[in-house]
Structure 1
């Protein structure tokens, strides 16, 4: 996991605890990320609404704005940090509330340094995975998700067609070819496929190719031409044309946009 440019906010109204956590994390991080502090919930809330933090470590009980109120205020934050709450044994009811509000974990006072570092690392991984899922969610074609080969209405022929297309997406597929492999008349197969999937075969194939292309634009360094070829387009010019018609931007611009979002997430 890359820690570059990640930022942790430590909030505690006790200076000794606050600085102790900061020092422990900074020694462990060795410059991999930034550790900042806030001396009360009021200051922390203002900063959380304006700045990007990946991990919030907060005392659960503070004057004016408590740790619980601080966690509730995260509902107004677009990219929420993972949250670790700090409490004493007598405050466990507050901890339970914090966990119900979405806190990742809790630490009991007096803090154990090894446990602090272990939980902080787990929380950062959790936050990063959450951001990754959020990015992938933006890539998903929900119309394709509605097609479930295991549905009772899905016949064996269409199941085989879906599997074949999935495994040969880079080939120059045609409906006639797929129907022929299933020993079916092309016209009959066309009606059957649309009835059972809800999509015409050509639209399904295009959606699937573009879905795979978007995944490669995000997760690989292949050129636009290489990606187009790998998902079945003979020329990059035609691939760019189809991609732009469906996504509103060119593949290279789409990749840049995703990259910019990823930089912001970091």
Structure 2
């Protein structure tokens, strides 16, 4: 991941420059600190770069801070937000909370308080990114199996562990049934009963979930990923991926990476 960007929006030049200087000294180059003099300028910046943390004043001409947040939300931009205000206003605070603002600071703000708020906001941003990533790769049916695994029969728990440890190679139902000392036919019925998936569908979903993670976290070629998740040919892997996800692995990677850049 590249350098994260913090955007400061305030129509008061002295305040804006002071905050920018404070955060530049604090970040020591770890973060890119940008600034905008008003809402429209800030809104324009969002179309050009990904903003991870937005620090914005409320009272500004043309487009105030809350209107800026409303417009950003409509466009699908999801920065973590700190509001800065010169005066306490319950209505402003209520609307800020509704728009997902995580902190509401009153001017004048000490350097230490601002830095603490920024550090907290960036921790929140990391957590949100993790959740967004999980939503992109996690198979909901597999999650249900994981949740109820504690209530599964011992043989099925053992079988799931065996499968999960051997997904990178060819694996058969009989082999797994043998590993838990069950007849293959009985094992097939029991597996479906306990997981609500057929044995082959479970393996496919599990492999594709790993593949999605590799597509988003590595630069590996499609052929390499196919082999890594147990498919001998990339052609078959691509067909399965498209059947389940609706797009090819290459398009999936491009689409999600594009979202990462734009949002």
Q: TM-score, normalised by structure 2?
A: 0.80
Indicate conservation of the 8 Å contact 2:9/2:42, yes or no. Answer: no
Paired position in structure 2 for 1:262? 260
Residue segments in structure 2 that go unaligned for 5+ positions in a row? none
Deviation at 1:190, TM superposition (A): 0.9
Cα distance in 2, alignment partners of residues 107 and 214 from structure 1: 40
Paired position in structure 2 for 1:203? 201
Deviation at 1:206, TM superposition (A): 0.7
Alignment of 1:89-104 (within 5 A): 91=88, 93=90, 96-97=93-94, 98-99=96-97, 101-104=99-102
Cα distance in 2, alignment partners of residues 258 and 238 from structure 1: 22
Indicate conservation of the 8 Å contact 2:149/2:157, yes or no. Answer: no
Task: Find 1:223's aligned residue among 221, 224, 231.
Answer: 221
Deviation at 1:208, TM superposition (A): 0.7
Count residues with an aligned counterpart.
Answer: 260
Instruction: Give the 3 Å change call, closer, same or farther, for CA 164–26 of structure 1 in structure 2.
Output: same
Paired position in structure 1 for 2:242? 244
Larger displacement relative to structure 2 (166-175 or 109-118): 109-118
Cα distance in 1, alignment partners of residues 248 and 98 from structure 2: 43
Instruction: Give the 3 Å change call, closer, same or farther, for CA 251–73 of structure 1 in structure 2.
Output: closer
- Residues 203-248 of structure 1, C-alpha deviations (whole Å, 9 max, x = no match): 1111111111111111123333332222222333433333233334
Q: TM-score, normalised by structure 1?
A: 0.80
With CA pairs under 8 Å and 6+ residues apart, which has the higher RCO, 1 or 2?
2
Task: Find 2:163's aligned residue among 146, 165, 168.
Answer: 165
Paired position in structure 2 for 1:85? 83
Residue segments in structure 1 that go unaligned for 5+ positions in a row? none
Runs of 4+ in 1 over 6 A off after TM superposition: none
- Residues 41-68 of structure 1, C-alpha deviations (whole Å, 9 max, x = no match): 5x46864886653322223455776544
SS at match of 1:243: helix
Paired position in structure 2 for 1:8? 7
Instruction: Give the 3 Å change call, closer, same or farther, for CA 263–117 of structure 1 in structure 2.
Output: same
RMSD: 3.2
Indicate conservation of the 8 Å contact 1:95/1:106, yes or no. Answer: no
Cα distance in 1, alignment partners of residues 144 and 226 from structure 2: 25
Deviation at 1:83, TM superposition (A): 1.0
Deviation at 1:189, TM superposition (A): 1.0
Larger displacement relative to structure 2 (109-118 or 205-214): 109-118
Cα distance in 2, alignment partners of residues 62 and 259 from structure 1: 34
